[in-house]
Structure 1
Amino acid sequence: MKKFLKVLAVLLLIIVVYLRIAIYPQLDLISGFSAKSVASGHFIDSRSLETIEKGDNDIDKVDWATNEINDVKKNVTSSVYGLKERKAIYRQGLGATLINNDFDVTKQYKVPQRYSFKNGREYPYGDIEPKDTLFSNIDYTKLEKAIANAFDKKGEKKKQTRSVVVLYKGKLIAEKYAVGFNKNSKILGWSMTKSLTATYFGILQKQGKIDIMKSAPIDEWKNDERSKITINDLLHMNSGLEWEEDYTKISDATKMLFQAEDMTKSQIEKSAKYKPNTHWNYSSGTTNLLSGILRKQFKTHQDYLNFWYSSLIDKIGMNSMIVETDMAGNFVGSSYGWATTRDWAKFGLLYLHKGNWNGEQLFDESWAKYVATPTNTSNGQYGAHFWLNAGGVYHDVPRDMYRCSGFQGQMVFIIPSLDLVVVRMGLSEDFDFNGFLKNVVGSLTIIDDDTYLKESLRKKEKLNRKDTK
């Protein structure tokens, strides 16, 4: 019996040591993720705690957390079995921010000035509900089936698609939502926000206010090999800096998102591992560094906050969108952009039209080509903060397709050769995107609508000539 108790004690000791070394350090990240997720989902999209815990937080280990919402103080506290309590606060205009014990919640803060333009035009170019538009070259039965197949059947939980929107030739031709979601539901785009962040450099470049080929304006890099890193290298994720983007453990990315006060500094502090433009490495830290570079372009913090909305988001009527900030007041450009599915589609349409919106050129046409051109170290998979199909990742989809892409399968697909934008929002990447797009594209006949009309007129004229003989 004594021998058994000794063995049992040793086993318990091993378990305790394992939990202390392997699990305990993760609790801070688990409760942090949960607090932030609940605060954003509840205060931005009015989701219930039950909905968030069963959906957004239904992730390995995150569901260990216990969450409490305070609607009066507009905050959320989360802990794991009473350990490592974390708090996220909500501030109108800035969204939810995960805070630490040093954060002064009584301190005044600035918010972006927003403008909601109502031009009386139909969606997607205006604020009026669109009328049904029928194109002669679309097989609507096939299209409806393709969209329906993107969603789980009753009782299933695999595809976990929340919404799909399809724009063709600037018209809404398909739209579907899962139970509990609708056209007004705001959904987190995660890393799709990276594409948004990059776009501001295209806007500033058109305005003649920045040169992306110049060295990044980082004081900490001026006296070492990092001084050779350009903004162009950062946009291509080609800086050569150290960075670990792993969300299954404590990594550079998770420490930045769930512990850092100023997320723009996380990548700055990393040393050079390779020469610039020689090794591609995906990094959320790089995008938040770029957000910090954007902030340096303005004289005041207020100007920085306003610019993100006045120059792009509100300019194209993405009035539902909110980009959340960190404790230091920086937009978390890597991950925290929320918008309705329709508004995410507007962003795709802006790129489909090469920066032109209602006749106004927000960025040069060359910028759309720039972001969709493969960086030389990504095997055709990545451009400038956009993912590409140049390497044929989706083999049944045109190679000119490029996309904004986010965690859990948030996607804005832009297909210039087909004048098509497809948006899918969900909770799972276990989804056949190639098959989905193949079926959507397959609902379009090869002939475009203008050609169809011309041929119809020719046939009609031919028949008229026969009738006159």
Structure 2
Amino acid sequence: MKRFFTFLIILSLLAVGIVIYIYYPRLNLITGFAAKNMCSCVFEAGRDPETVTAQDNNFDPVNLAETEVDHENLSASSTVFGLKKRTAVYNQGFGCTLLPEDSKNKDLFKSRPKRTFLESSTPYPFGNEKPIDTTFAEVDYSQLGTALENAFFEANKTRAVVVLYKDHLIAEKYAPGFTEETKLLGWSMTKSITSAVLGVLEKKGQVNLKEDDLFPEWEKDARVEITLDDLLQMNSGLAWEEDYTKISDVTKMLFLAEDMTRVQLHKKLVGEPGSVWNYSSGTTNLISGFIRDQFGSHEAYLDFWYTQLIDKIGMHSMTLEPDLAGNYVGSSYSWATARDWAKFGLLYLHKGNWNGEQVLNESWVNYTVQPVVGSDGQYGAHFWLNAGGIYPDVPRDLFSANGFQGQHVFIIPSEDLVVVRFGLVEHPDFDINLFLKQVIEAVNSKINGVVPQQKQTVSEVKI
């Protein structure tokens, strides 16, 4: 019996050794992801750690990490078999930021970004009061409810769906533990926010899409020819590897870099600008750095995103999270409720106009949805497109902000629709084509163009 237990111990140690050998180079990334995600989910979104462990961090290899939450110090720390401890800390107004390995520095930022929380008696979506319950004769609400029910089948792991039609909330549904007040991580939907901020600067005449010579580091080589247009369309020609399954440019940036705006900055030119499409989170953070350089102070940079875009359209739940250098991680880290994400879609549905105020030039929105060369009609200026028909049963004019694990803000101008979906499973495991097809069929089930009447319907579909 003693030999048997000795054998088991040796076997267990061997197994641990094999795991460490295989994963050790990635442990910094694993513990970094686990700590950062836990910190944000708990302190920014107000969720309980047990649920985050069971759902959000429960995928290979992140599920190897053990994470502890320190409520007193507003932080979360993760290790794998006691190795490579990483800690993320929460700062009000900034969400959570991942610290370097073994760092204990928690006093990251001295001042918070300026916020303008507008008092408004206007119903949602243009305000934040209770939405008007509205019946459209052309909408089959029972059929719409079924479409939402289908989206919440267990395998789909959907957390939130919001449907706006003709500027009215006509349906929403949430998974257990989530409500219209729950903040959700947009992941790469943040890229579309970054694009919009640059669009605001363009409207103010502070930037031009065709301008080049963007950074002093590029002045003496061919990179001086790269334009803002090239960056927004992800065809700068700069080297970049966007692979989340291994140690790559994007994982090193998100979980190791202290200043994420400089990672893409120092990459070599491997293609002719404007000719090769290559999706790059580094490019978006480079744009965040470019936006920063347009201001005389860092505080002005931090404030602008909120005062001139986010709070202007009433996305008051949104928090943008910065890197250690205090720059917004424009590629990946923004939190807001599903209802507020729908507001962002509504801004683009109305060609940059928000309830009478032109926040973005209409020409900017038109530019946004022009397909990029080499993307097969799937990509515009930091938005995804259906111009190539990736969703065959959905109108080709659909464009969307997309994020990791199936976060979406779909804008469908021909249907006057904005559809938001959050979850943990993405296309094709969650069938976007079928989901949107069912929503559109429900909206178009009867004759279009009927004037809405005030009736109690939203609550019937709000399951």
TM-score computed with the length of structure 2 as normaliser? 0.92
Q: Distance in 1 between matches of 2:445 and 2:161?
A: 23
Gap change, CA 1:239 and 1:17, over 3 Å in 2: farther
Give the C-alpha shift of residue 22 in structure 1.
Answer: 3.6
For residue 57 of structure 2, what is the aligned residue in structure 1? Answer: 57
For residue 257 of structure 2, what is the aligned residue in structure 1? Answer: 260
| 1:353-364 correspondence runs (5 A) | 353-364=350-361
Q: Distance in 2 between matches of 1:171 and 1:357?
A: 14
Gap change, CA 1:147 and 1:107, over 3 Å in 2: closer
Residues 147 and 164, structure 1, Cα contact 8 Å, conserved in 2: yes
For residue 248 of structure 1, what is the aligned residue in structure 2? Answer: 245
Gap change, CA 1:448 and 1:211, over 3 Å in 2: farther
Residues 139 and 446, structure 2, Cα contact 8 Å, conserved in 1: no
Give the C-alpha shift of residue 89 in structure 1.
Answer: 0.6
Tell me whether 1:124 sits opposite 2:109 in the alignment: no
Tell me whether 1:113 sits opposite 2:114 in the alignment: yes
Instruction: Structure 2: state its 5+ residue gaps.
Output: 1-10, 453-463
Q: Distance in 2 between matches of 1:107 and 1:22?
A: 34
Which structure has more relative contact order (CA 8 Å, sep 6+)? It is 2
Tell me whether 1:185 sits opposite 2:182 in the alignment: yes
Q: Distance in 1 between matches of 2:252 and 2:443?
A: 45
AA aligned opposite 2:129: I
For residue 167 of structure 2, what is the aligned residue in structure 1? Answer: 170
For residue 28 of structure 1, what is the aligned residue in structure 2? Answer: 28
Q: Secondary structure at the match of 1:197?
A: helix
Q: Distance in 1 between matches of 2:303 and 2:375?
A: 34
Q: Distance in 1 between matches of 2:58 and 2:95?
A: 22
Q: Secondary structure at the match of 2:51?
A: helix
Residues 216 and 231, structure 1, Cα contact 8 Å, conserved in 2: no
For residue 436 of structure 1, what is the aligned residue in structure 2? Answer: 435
AA aligned opposite 2:208: D
Deviations 1:249-274 (A, max 9, x none): 11100000000000001101110110
Instruction: Structure 1: state its 5+ residue gaps.
Output: 1-10, 455-469
| 1:7-156 correspondence runs (5 A) | 22-100=22-100, 101=102, 104-106=105-107, 108-152=109-153, 156=154
Gap change, CA 1:216 and 1:169, over 3 Å in 2: farther
Q: Distance in 1 between matches of 2:289 and 2:379?
A: 22
Q: Secondary structure at the match of 1:281?
A: coil
Q: Distance in 2 between matches of 1:109 and 1:252?
A: 30
| 1:447-466 correspondence runs (5 A) | 449-450=448-449, 452=450
AA aligned opposite 1:360: E
Give the C-alpha shift of residue 135 in structure 1.
Answer: 0.3
Pairs aligned (count) = 439
Larger Rg: 1
Residues 256 and 266, structure 1, Cα contact 8 Å, conserved in 2: yes
Deviations 1:415-462 (A, max 9, x none): 001110000000111201000000000012277643x469xxxxxxxx
Q: Distance in 1 between matches of 2:447 and 2:412?
A: 14
Residues 201 and 212, structure 1, Cα contact 8 Å, conserved in 2: no
| 1:230-249 correspondence runs (5 A) | 230-249=227-246
Gap change, CA 1:163 and 1:250, over 3 Å in 2: same
Q: Distance in 1 between matches of 2:13 and 2:45?
A: 45
Deviations 1:356-410 (A, max 9, x none): 1121100111111111110122110100000000000000000000000000000
Percent identical across equivalent pairs?
54
Q: Distance in 2 between matches of 1:408 and 1:437?
A: 17
Give the C-alpha shift of residue 106 in structure 1.
Answer: 3.6
Q: Distance in 1 between matches of 2:366 and 2:106?
A: 44
AA aligned opposite 1:279: V
For residue 461 of structure 1, what is the aligned residue in structure 2? Answer: none
For residue 3 of structure 1, what is the aligned residue in structure 2? Answer: none
Q: Distance in 2 between matches of 1:103 and 1:239?
A: 37
AA aligned opposite 2:63: D
Q: Distance in 2 between matches of 1:108 and 1:45?
A: 20
| 1:155-304 correspondence runs (5 A) | 156=154, 158-304=155-301
Q: Distance in 2 between matches of 1:445 and 1:45?
A: 35
Q: Distance in 2 between matches of 1:62 and 1:52?
A: 12
| 1:409-420 correspondence runs (5 A) | 409-420=406-417
Residues 237 and 271, structure 2, Cα contact 8 Å, conserved in 1: yes
Gap change, CA 1:251 and 1:65, over 3 Å in 2: same
For residue 377 of structure 2, what is the aligned residue in structure 1? Answer: 380
Q: Distance in 2 between matches of 1:12 and 1:112?
A: 50
Q: Secondary structure at the match of 2:56?
A: coil
Residues 240 and 276, structure 1, Cα contact 8 Å, conserved in 2: yes
Q: Distance in 2 between matches of 1:363 and 1:297?
A: 18
Q: Distance in 1 between matches of 2:75 and 2:205?
A: 41
Deviations 1:45-64 (A, max 9, x none): 11111010011111111111
AA aligned opposite 2:64: W
For residue 311 of structure 1, what is the aligned residue in structure 2? Answer: 308
The CA RMSD over aligned residues, in Å, is 1.9
Give the C-alpha shift of residue 109 in structure 1.
Answer: 2.0
Tell me whether 1:389 sits opposite 2:390 in the alignment: no
AA aligned opposite 1:188: L
For residue 445 of structure 1, what is the aligned residue in structure 2? Answer: 444
Deviations 1:272-315 (A, max 9, x none): 11010111000000000000000001000110010010011100
Q: Secondary structure at the match of 1:55?
A: helix
Q: Distance in 1 between matches of 2:21 and 2:221?
A: 36
Q: Distance in 1 between matches of 2:124 and 2:136?
A: 17
Q: Secondary structure at the match of 1:148?
A: helix
Q: Distance in 2 between matches of 1:216 and 1:442?
A: 49
Mean alpha-carbon deviation: is it higher for 324-333 or for 373-382? 373-382
